[in-house]
Amino acid sequence: MATFGRAPRVAGGRDVAGFGGGSQRVKTFDRKFGATFVADLPTTPAVYLFRDDAERVIYVGKAKNVRRRLSAYRNATRRKAHRKMRAIVRAAASLEVRHVATDGEALVLENELIRSLRPMFNLDGKFEFLYPVLGAGGATTLCFTTDPSAYEAYGLRWFGCFRSRPRAKDAFFALTEALSLAGHREPVRDAPRIRGSYLRAFRQVDEGLRALLEPYLAGEDRAFLPALTLRLLERPRARRDAATVQGWIRTLDDFYLRDLQPLREALARDRRTGTFVAQGERDALFLRVDP
């Protein structure tokens, strides 16, 4: 595992004696890692790793100023905002600091370590294999899945992957509900049965609307949304439930601005063509182009 810059600084609770005097209670952080551990750190970027008694990494973090960041762990209070810090310190037996030259290097190294080690206290980036993708193709067939290889037989074009599963899922269902009114949903036979994956097909969707769908999913053009709105206005059912329809359009617009367009821009800055990035590459792509 690569270490940038100076050699790692490691502290372990078993080699640290008690500190303090009189009736003053010793901080858990000081007892485990040493009373001067934080004070001896530089004010430069670094990645830090907390390990348990079995030497398993339980948390990886990064800091622009590692002394200031680890001071927050040392001085964590009983406030709700500090709950996770206190839990990490309680569970840890040793602490390693890996110094790097820049904050950008710290971001990349942190991401690599979280992906490879999957520490128990890390959530973001830990389960990149759950990042969803959207597929579109055929007359009008749409798919939401974390396993695009299972749908190869449908010849879909893939868009994603996306870090926010809730936003992508909400957008998929807003889109499919809207297309159910703009056209007609039809059954899909013999589709793979994968938990958390969905395949939807539609007929009689206006050709002009279909032509705008993939540029929308690619983050290239929002023209699909006003066209969809106008098409829905022609439907009595949609007019009767205007508030719900407006909610779908807002969801799709938010997804375009927060997920579709940023992915297209990240791919362009990385000089990559296409509309898809693999789950294991997605976070590294954004760190490279926007550290």
Residue-wise pLDDT tens digits, 137-174: 988 999 999 999 999 999 999 999 998 899 999 999 99
Neighbour tally for 214: CB within 10 Å: 16
Same domain, 141 and 163: yes
Same domain, 110 and 218: no
Domain at 57, CATH number: 3.40.1440.10
Question: Does residue 256 contact residue 219 with C-beta atoms inside 8 Å?
Answer: yes
Residue 86 resides in a domain: yes
Residue-wise pLDDT tens digits, 203-244: 999 999 999 999 999 999 999 999 999 999 999 988 898 999
Domain end (from 89, 117, 145): 117
Same domain, 167 and 147: yes
Domain end (from 98, 117, 136): 117
Same domain, 138 and 111: no
Cβ burial, residue 198 (10 Å; 0-12/13-18/19+):
middle
Q: What is the pTM of this model?
A: 0.64
The residue segments making up the domain with residue 59 are 9-117
Same domain, 23 and 46: yes
Structural domain count of the chain: 2
